[in-house]
Structure 1
Amino acid sequence: MATAATQTESTDGTLEQRAKAIAQRARDLIESHTLATDPGFPEQLAERLERVCEQLRARLLDDRSLANAPIEAATLCDALVELTDLQQDLRETVIAQRFDVLSRIHGGLTRLRGVGSVAELLQETPEELCHCCDFDRAVLSRVNGSSWQPEAICIAAGQDAAVTEATEEFLTGAEIPLSPMLLETELARRAAPALVSDPQTSQRTFSPLMEASATTAYVAAPVLQGRRVIGFLHADAFGSGRELTTLDRDNLWTFAEGFGLIFERMVLVERLDAQRSRVRDAFRHAEANLDQLCDAEVKLARQEREATSVTQSAAGMLAPTQSRINLLLTAREREVLNLMISGARNSTIADELVIAEGTVKSHVKNICRKLRASNRAEAVSKYLQIVMRAKL
């Protein structure tokens, strides 16, 4: 597209006429903010202003004929003063517009900082980039091992429908290798942005993508997490056709640096939230287990108190009898006698008490003697009679 930046300075007309023409162009630029659509024009116009100013100075200093032409000399002086003022105004306009872009980038990053999740951040970033830096198309990609994959795409409305469809179709699910000669490989290695002004013929670009997107120039910048490159941002001005400059490259780099910090922070916040949820669930689970354990202990304590009460009652009822038996029989003999009451044979008693069967026979003999019984059945009977008398 032909722009004001491609126009050549005319050599026709007098110096005064050329000064007026160049002054008018400068005034038009300052009033129309052409920088947004033709970033190269202000620089070229500033060079022309400087050339005409030098010619005016040289004419005023060297042309002695002006001594006899005061009106012409005054006209040249007025033109020089006007051009000098326009140079200053042009510089201020360019600086103001550059600061305006930086301000928009800051505002865009602030909006991205307020999104609710990493997934939403990734989807919103390309559109915010186009809005902040006057791009028509933008792609956010992530580095996955030895390749890079498009993650989110923004294509402004009003673009060529066929090219838009081809671009979206190619980028959806694409996995582009980071081959040694590829520009993105160098971006990942150097962690620096780049401006590509000849993508269709350059051997450093990925030709299938260039063919699908039909881009004539683009800028690219790596996305860093710490010192590690985790993705890329690509952008161009395909729809407007404006010339991309190093200023576009630097603006993209500024945006990419800010986005990388926001992404890193949001990933950490989501991880902390996930860990907080896991810890909270673990505490809830532990609390539920403690409640169950406490309930079980309370129930067990109640049962133990009830059992103790029953045992104490029984002990109080049988205490006199138990005392007489304790005085009469040894502890081992009482154990043998309790097993005899259950009907256990000598061999069973021996196994239960882990003693020899002969030892059991000796204990049975002593029990019978102490209870004045002639056999084991009578010994058991006398013991039970003693117990029953105690209950009565």
Structure 2
Amino acid sequence: MTGTIDDEGLAAAIKRLPPWPPADDPPHEVEAREIDDALAAVEGELDRLGDTVDPALAGACRHLAALVEDHETKADRRLRRRLDSLAAVHQSLARLRELRSVEAIIARATREACEACGFDRAVLYRVRGPELIAESFYVKGDPEAAAQLLEFSRDQPLRMEQQSREREMIRRRIPMSIHDAMTNPHSFHPQAEVYDVHSYVAAPILPAGRVIGFVHADHRLKPRRVDDFDRDALWAFAEGLGFAIERARLTERLRAQGDELQRLLQRAQAVVHDYLDAEVEIVGGSGDSGAATRTAEALLAGVSPENEVEAALSRREREVLALLAEGASNSQIAAQLVIADETAKTHVKRILRKLGATNRVEAATMWLRAQQTD
């Protein structure tokens, strides 16, 4: 950091901070080193005393030292497992954020939950009043079973009773581990029997603080019970999933609004062009000073006092299209209207574009049909 602090109050607050500790290692590493030193000191003392120490006591001390070392090793392993799982969850959520729609994210979410957290099965539910509606199901290595379970789940929505675990999770905004799905009076017994689920974890999906769904997952294929680590891993995934869904929903809304704005701009541009065309014709002596205004108003309103084909075209373009419907070529149209051949050609191109016609014959047909409906 460079520069100086001009605010005297801030400078005084900085000076009140305690001195920076001289130790370079994090506290947990310092503690681990102190434990190792203490164990080494105990073993050294036992070696120094030699035969003067009761063999049973010496054996017990050495066994205790081995247990402490084993505990530290397992603690390091658990920490590494958590870090690896969080890294996998981060990568999984990054893949979900690349998807362009909420529907695609929901369809993929259960598989990503299993792959990131090591589960065998996962189901995503949407909250609809007092019911949970299944939206996505994944079974590792068995897509057919996943499809069947999803179909059953959609036909048999889970109804949350007042004392159900899911109700509690909604109230407290927390995940849970459930180990008695078959016997607990507050579980969904019919579904638990069909799923053959005994132990599972559940985490709420709550973008913007409101629970919109749940992710349930288990280790049924291994099989083994879920633990607190599984609960925390799924909780981290569900929290990130909520943000991904919220982001995708906002993106969809912005994209839809952008498309609508683009359509409005294109429509306004067409109206302006037609208005300007009509103004040129007025200057040329058409005698109809309100033609441009009426054409613009008809196009903006989406209706026409005559028909849709005429409303889409300027007065000059209607004259060109009428001659086109009689079979006139560009040169004949130019001669009839006393304009250049290139100008006639340009009018024809604009007519085809405005009507969405692919060729002259189709445009002429649209004109003749419009005249018959007048």
TM-score (norm: length of structure 2): 0.59
Structure 2: gaps spanning 5 or more residues: 1-38, 290-374
Distance 1:296 1:133, change over 3 A: same
RMSD: 3.3
* In structure 2, distance between residues paired with 1:232 and 1:297: 62
* Superposed displacement of residue 274, structure 1: 0.4
Distance 1:279 1:173, change over 3 A: farther
Q: Is it true that 1:98 corresponds to 2:76 in the alignment?
A: no
* In structure 2, distance between residues paired with 1:184 and 1:68: 59
- Whichever of the two has the greater Rg, that structure is 1
* In structure 2, distance between residues paired with 1:73 and 1:290: 100
Q: Is it true that 1:156 corresponds to 2:140 in the alignment?
A: yes
Q: Identify the match of residue 126 of structure 1 among 88, 91, 110.
A: 110
How big is each residue's C-alpha offset from its partner over 1:164-218, in whole Å with a ceiling of 9 and x where there is no partner? 6763442134322232122222222222111110000111111111111010111
* In structure 1, distance between residues paired with 2:59 and 2:178: 46
* Aligned counterpart, 2:52: 67
Q: Is it true that 1:185 corresponds to 2:178 in the alignment?
A: no
**Secondary structure, in 3 states, of the residue corresponding to 1:303?**
coil
* In structure 2, distance between residues paired with 1:306 and 1:291: 18
**Secondary structure, in 3 states, of the residue corresponding to 2:167?**
helix
* In structure 2, distance between residues paired with 1:217 and 1:77: 39
* Aligned counterpart, 1:262: 244
* In structure 1, distance between residues paired with 2:60 and 2:235: 45
Letter of the 2:278 partner, please give it.
A
Q: Is it true that 1:144 corresponds to 2:128 in the alignment?
A: yes
Q: Identify the match of residue 298 of structure 1 among 271, 280, 293.
A: 280
* In structure 2, distance between residues paired with 1:301 and 1:119: 56
* In structure 2, distance between residues paired with 1:242 and 1:306: 86
Letter of the 1:223 partner, please give it.
I
Q: Identify the match of residue 239 of structure 1 among 209, 214, 221.
A: 221
* Aligned counterpart, 1:175: 157
Asked if the contact 2:200–2:217 (Cα under 8 Å) also holds between the matched residues in 1, the reply is yes
**Secondary structure, in 3 states, of the residue corresponding to 1:143?**
strand
- Aligned residues, how many? 248
* In structure 1, distance between residues paired with 2:161 and 2:60: 60
* In structure 2, distance between residues paired with 1:290 and 1:148: 52
Distance 1:194 1:69, change over 3 A: closer
Distance 1:255 1:81, change over 3 A: same
Q: Is it true that 1:223 corresponds to 2:186 in the alignment?
A: no
Asked if the contact 1:118–1:266 (Cα under 8 Å) also holds between the matched residues in 2, the reply is yes
* Superposed displacement of residue 120, structure 1: 1.1
* Superposed displacement of residue 249, structure 1: 1.1
Letter of the 1:105 partner, please give it.
V
Letter of the 1:257 partner, please give it.
E
Asked if the contact 2:136–2:150 (Cα under 8 Å) also holds between the matched residues in 1, the reply is no
Aligned runs of 1:1-392 on 2, under 5 Å? 67=52, 79-157=63-141, 167-303=149-285
Distance 1:165 1:201, change over 3 A: farther
* In structure 1, distance between residues paired with 2:88 and 2:244: 16
* Superposed displacement of residue 66, structure 1: 5.0
TM-score (norm: length of structure 1): 0.57
Distance 1:184 1:69, change over 3 A: closer
* In structure 1, distance between residues paired with 2:152 and 2:86: 32
Distance 1:249 1:292, change over 3 A: same
Distance 1:84 1:178, change over 3 A: closer
Distance 1:78 1:201, change over 3 A: closer
* In structure 2, distance between residues paired with 1:280 and 1:164: 41
Letter of the 2:238 partner, please give it.
A
Asked if the contact 2:135–2:150 (Cα under 8 Å) also holds between the matched residues in 1, the reply is no
How big is each residue's C-alpha offset from its partner over 1:13-35, in whole Å with a ceiling of 9 and x where there is no partner? xxxxxxxxxxxxxxxxxxxxxxx
**Secondary structure, in 3 states, of the residue corresponding to 2:206?**
strand
* In structure 2, distance between residues paired with 1:299 and 1:138: 69
* In structure 2, distance between residues paired with 1:164 and 1:305: 73
* In structure 2, distance between residues paired with 1:275 and 1:165: 35
Asked if the contact 1:166–1:213 (Cα under 8 Å) also holds between the matched residues in 2, the reply is no
Letter of the 1:189 partner, please give it.
R
Letter of the 2:97 partner, please give it.
R
Asked if the contact 1:164–1:213 (Cα under 8 Å) also holds between the matched residues in 2, the reply is no
* In structure 2, distance between residues paired with 1:211 and 1:306: 80
